[in-house]
Amino acid sequence: MNKAVVVLCVAMGLCGFLGFAEGTGEGGEAVIGVVGPMTGPAAQSGNNMRDAVALGIGELNEKGLPGGVTLKMVVVDDEGNPTKSINGNKRLVYNENAVAVIGAVHSSCTLANMVVTQEAGVPQITPISTSPQITSQGNEWIFRTAATDAVQASNIVDIAFNKLGKQRLAVIYVSNDYGRDAYKVLDRIATEMGRPPVAAESFNRGDKDFSSQLLKIEEANPDTLVIWSLYEEAALIARQVDQMGMDVQLMGGGGLTNSKYVELAGGAAEGTIVCQTYHPSSQESHVESFTRSFSTRYDRNPDPNAAQSYDAIMILGQAIEKAGVDEPAAIRDALAAMDAFNGVTGTITFDDAGDSPREMMVIVVRDGEYTLYE
């Protein structure tokens, strides 16, 4: 769906499943808002989130919710822009009367727009944003199904040093909440393990040339380069590392677990190691079912962002089964009190901050595909 259509659909209340709630209650319709980048550099992440939520809503409606309520999805394209994300959440909450919101993708957008749902008293689940700041500000209306940067970064350092036997770790990260927060954890954990990063360089979103940063990193003679950014810049960095002939192990966080990273980086992505909450090779029945349904419907495999988004809507569905849709505060309370949820990305239980401690899988790019590391 292109940007113009998304904007028009939202304005008319016709996006997603082409409709929005005229009201809630017995036999009514309840809006689930989705906010994220449907266009722009991170569009694939936003599209995966949207499509997974749509899949889950379809399943929940088919199953049936108490009182005959049906869920409708309304999508707002924030283009990865915090100001547009704020306005998008305002539209969802105040114009569309969303009973809950799922999103955003960029941590900077979620940090900005979650203030809207907090002030309106509407629960929000971010399935992709990973900055620790999101759940460290005492906002009781925000929840997260993604593993935080702190969890991912800790795992990456542990894998590099203890699994791969690496000694000299360098970091290149995007200079925003997503990258800076992850770097702080990477730096702290590596230092605590007696091997602080030998080099660390930052860049701005949208940069294309990373030669200056990579030359400085190369001078430090690292054996590992951790890239912390979304897939577009990460792919360019991987290609430039390859062109420079740098002999380093590439590693990264969730931003690199997207098929676009491999597509854009080509052979330069080969051997990249990441950690994530989901892999389509799982043989657990409910995970297989999700993977099959998503692949059949959208003609592509789901990535971890899609899986975490599917878990977000299914968790919301469970909360709505208990709380109904008339009071968003009751949905929030049901989310906070939820027992362990057996999601496609693992067992999810929200702590007091709204996070869910996650176990991570080690994944490597082999022959252009994401495979479990052995």
CATH number for 178: 3.40.50.2300
Q: How far apart are the first and last CA of the chain?
A: 38
- DSSP E strands: which ranges in the chain? 29-36, 70-77, 100-103, 124-126, 142-144, 169-174, 199-203, 224-228, 249-252, 273-276, 341-343, 346-348, 361-366, 369-372
pLDDT tens digits along 123-171: 999 999 988 899 999 999 999 999 988 888 889 999 999 999 999 999 9
In a domain, 372, yes or no: no
Enter the DSSP assignment of 241: H
Per-residue pLDDT, averaged over 302-325, amounts to 96
In a domain, 369, yes or no: no
The reply to whether 125 and 157 lie within a common domain is no
The reply to whether 130 and 259 lie within a common domain is no
Whole-number average pLDDT of the chain: 91
The reply to whether 27 and 95 lie within a common domain is yes
Per-residue pLDDT, averaged over 35-40, amounts to 97
Q: How far is CA 227 from the centre of its chain?
A: 16
The reply to whether 188 and 75 lie within a common domain is no
The reply to whether 23 and 135 lie within a common domain is yes
- Residues 298, 40 contacting (CB under 8 angstroms): no
Residue with tokens 């299914």: 314
Ramachandran angles phi, psi of 262, nearest 5°: -65, -40
How far apart CA 323 and CA 311 sit, in angstroms, is: 18
Per-residue pLDDT, averaged over 44-73, amounts to 96
In a domain, 321, yes or no: yes
β-pair partners for 365: 370
pLDDT at 348 over 90: yes
Which of 7-16, 32-41, 107-116, 231-240 shows the lowest mean pLDDT across its residues? Answer: 7-16
Q: How confident is the model at residue 26 (pLDDT cuts 50, 70, 90)?
A: low
The reply to whether 18 and 139 lie within a common domain is yes
| Counted domains in the chain | 2
pLDDT at 316 over 60: yes
Q: How confident is the model at residue 247 (pLDDT cuts 50, 70, 90)?
A: very high
Q: How confident is the model at residue 255 (pLDDT cuts 50, 70, 90)?
A: confident
In a domain, 360, yes or no: no
The reply to whether 143 and 154 lie within a common domain is no
pLDDT at 253 over 90: no
Q: Could you tell me what percent of the chain has a pLDDT over 90?
A: 79
β-pair partners for 124: 101, 142
The reply to whether 155 and 270 lie within a common domain is yes
Domain that holds residue 262: 149-276
